[in-house]
Structure 1
Amino acid sequence: MGKLLYGASGVEIGFDDRVLAHLQVVIGAKLRRGESFYFSWKDDPNIGDGRSTVWLSDAIPLYFKYSGGKMPSLNREWVEALMTSANSNQGLQLSDELRPTGESTGG
């Protein structure tokens, strides 16, 4: 499990490495353009099963810490869906990974 460390206080938010890699791409794209936005996700049941939201801007330090040494492959369709969400008035809402178009669902 990787971590997103937020702000100078170093608040740690745990995400699977695969999720974290996709978030890094989307968050990085928005912040490179100087766009601030909200980021919301559903909390893990171990910490209350609620929802959390943070404000992201280029003035707030972020650190992406991966638990594994290998960068996960990216799902372009999921990145696009996350980016669409990030560009909305509600901000980035973490959603489940989309299955790439044309991927077999199996037997």
Structure 2
Amino acid sequence: MGTLQYGSSLTEIRISDHLLAHLKAVMVTRMRRSESFTLSWVDREGGAEKHSTVWMNPSIPLRFTFETIVPPPLDHELLEDLMTSSYQVTGIVVPASDASE
């Protein structure tokens, strides 16, 4: 499990390296274009599950940390799905099985 750190408080979201590599590709593409979007995931704090959403903006610090040294291969279909969802009202939604804070 890698981590995505976001914002000045560096909110840390644990995400599988496989999904994180795909999110990185999509997020960097969107941010290069100066485009903002939302990212949502499920927090698992104190045994309770909570839904969280952040506004992803190119001006906010973002850090990707992978558990593995060799990046996982990218799946073109997953990249397309994530990119398409990033343009939807709901934004990118990380499946509960792939993320935790």
Q: Which runs of 5+ in 2 are unaligned?
A: 97-101
* Deviation by residue 1:22-61 (Cα, 9 ceiling, x = unmatched): 1101111111111111111233587522321111001100
Shift of 1:91: 1.4
Shift of 1:75: 0.8
Match of residue 59 from structure 1: 59
Q: Distance in 1 between matches of 2:14 and 2:48?
A: 14
Match of residue 26 from structure 1: 26
Once the two structures are superposed, the pairs formed by residues 1-107 of structure 1 within 5 Å of their partners are 1-44=1-44, 48-95=48-95
- Normalising to structure 1: TM-score of the pair? 0.80
**Preserved CA contact (<8 Å) 1:7 1:62:** yes
Shift of 1:95: 4.7
Amino acid at match of 2:34: G
Q: Tell me: higher relative CO, structure 1 or 2? Use CA pairs within 8 A at least 6 residues apart.
A: 2
Q: Distance in 2 between matches of 1:83 and 1:30?
A: 8
Which segment drifts farther, 1-10 or 44-53? 44-53
Residue 49 of structure 2 aligns to a residue in which SS? coil
Q: Distance in 1 between matches of 2:6 and 2:47?
A: 17
Bigger-Rg structure (1/2)? 1
Q: Which runs of 5+ in 1 are unaligned?
A: 97-107
Residue 64 of structure 1 aligns to a residue in which SS? strand
- Normalising to structure 2: TM-score of the pair? 0.85
How many residue pairs match? The answer is 96
Change (3 A) 1:47 1:40: farther
Change (3 A) 1:44 1:72: farther
Counting strand residues as a fraction of each chain, which structure ranks higher?
A: 2
Percentage of pairs with the same residue: 41
CA RMSD after TM alignment: 1.8
